[in-house]
Amino acid sequence: MKTPFAPTRECAAQLDAADQLAAFKKEFLFPQHNGADAIYFCGNSLGLQARKVSAAIQQELNDWQQLAVEGYFHAKNPWLFYHEQFSETLAGMMGCHKDEVTVMNTLTVNLHLMLQSFYRPSGKRNKIMMEAGAFPSDQYALETVARLHHLDPDTTIIEIHPRSGEKLLRTEDILATIETHGDELALLLMGGINYYTGQLYDIATITAAAQRQGAFAGWDLAHVAGNIPMQLHNWNVDFAVWCSYKYLNGGPGAVGGLFVHEKHGNDPGFPRAAGWWGNDERTRFKMEKGFVPKKGASGWQISTAQVFNMVSLKASLEHFKVAGIEKLRAKSLELTAYLEYLLGQSSMPFEIITPKEQEWRGAQLSLYFPENGKAIHTQMMQQGIICDYREPGVIRLAPAPLYCSFNDVYRFYEVLKNMPHAL
């Protein structure tokens, strides 16, 4: 039976005792605060280092030292195929075939590569639709891709805004905007979860609506990967990109992820920017003219696998594989629900701007403080609770289920409760 929520340390301890994934916390390294592990709610920004990472990096250093060029074939994890080790676990999380997923480059670079392939304005059909207030890198990418096509970003990019007085986007408004611009729409590109509000959009419904109008639908899943299980293949998403250093714990600047639906990935004629690593291995080393893309997302690979950029991700994904994304999501729902419950007991004036419905959010809750947001954030940091602050007025809390406990969440509430209202 589930433990009913109560705003007490005992309740948090009971919830932790019942948590089947609690042991994974030990597998990660925490920043230190006064000689103890800090509480870490920034896994939506930079995930923690798995304990296994040092040994995994040492393995590659040793193989490089001892095998040098032979390491491409004979390293413990042969470098020639290094990126392929991720396909199975990522395919499980993203809900797609192994061929439809790969890792390469970094998120915004991959987004540009996808824009080359999927944004092909033609006559009147030249608009790109995105959510207002998207992550700045995505905004810059779209602005510059419009210019590359000699189009004015201000008229080419259609932003969907929340209704006046609201902070979240309503699906019906997104669908209506898609319909309004139907025959002008070339591409819809949205963040799966908005980094600021924590809102998860209805990827399946929105994708289908854009495609009904003859547009491609692509998603930036930076805040989704490792947070919420996806069904990208069945939802018929055209492409998706994500980074690996947030919930996936790949480390700063870790290799990015890419999904390309097989209906495009199996088409060797699909336009793309090519490099030798995307070429069929059987002919790659013949060093001849004539690009022959590999099947699937790997056909978008460009350069030699960046092994040192992938090692930490490999170590972390081994934990994801054992824990299972569905079980992690189940814990995450309860952990975030407990946080929401505790926040509801607090008399501090703030508003949770993240959707109340569990199915429309991930681990993160965004707390909007009309005043004192920054001061409260500073106090939390001084108490060893690492969370982040985004203008205007928002503290984001992301209890990542792999390494956060119910007691961690309780501590945030305890510190908040004991904080004076006037700061």
Spell out, one character per residue from 72 to 111, where the chain touches ligand PLP: x when CB under 6 A holds, - when not.
----------------------------------xxx---
Closest C-alpha among 314, 320, 316 to residue 75: 314
Query: In whole angstroms, how far apart are CA 26 and each of 30, 151, 208, 402, 404?
Result: 10, 52, 42, 10, 10
Please report whether residue 206 would count as binding ligand PLP according to CB under 6 A. no
Q: Cβ 388 to ligand PLP, closest distance in Å?
A: 12
Residue 164 exposed, middle or buried by CB count within 10 Å (0-12, 13-18, 19+): exposed
Q: With contacts defined by CB under 6 A, name the span among 30-38, 202-210, 215-223, 338-346 that binds ligand PLP.
A: 215-223
The distance of closest approach from Cβ of residue 244 to ligand PLP in the complex, given in angstroms and rounded to an integer, is: 9
Stretch that binds ligand PLP, among 4-12, 80-88, 219-227, 361-369 (CB under 6 A): 219-227
Q: Which stretch binds ligand PLP (CB under 6 A): 134-142, 167-175, 296-304, 375-383?
A: 134-142
The DSSP 8-state label assigned to residue 360 in this structure reads G
Q: CA 202, 203, 206: angle at the middle one, nearest 5? A: 80
From 191, 251, 393, 399, residue interacting with ligand PLP (rule: CB under 6 A): 191
- Which two structure tokens, joined as six digits, stand for 339? 């946080």
Q: Minimal distance in Å, beta carbon 110 to ligand PLP?
A: 8
The reply to whether 43 sits near ligand PLP by the rule CB under 6 A is no
Find residue 286's DSSP bridge partners.
none
Q: How far is the CB of 230 from ligand PLP (least distance, A)?
A: 15
CA distance linking residue 177 with residue 322, whole number of Å: 42
Using CA atoms, how far residue 94 sits from 8, 125, 337, in Å, is 36, 30, 24
- 237 contacts ligand PLP (rule: CB under 6 A): no
CB of 135 to ligand PLP, least distance (A): 3
Which stretch of DSSP H or E encloses residue 379? helix 373-382
Q: 109 near 256, Cβ under 8 Å?
A: yes
Question: Quick check: 223 binds ligand PLP (CB under 6 A)?
Answer: yes
Task: Provide the binding-site residues for ligand PLP, judged by CB under 6 A.
Answer: 106-108, 135, 137-138, 191, 195, 220, 222-223, 243
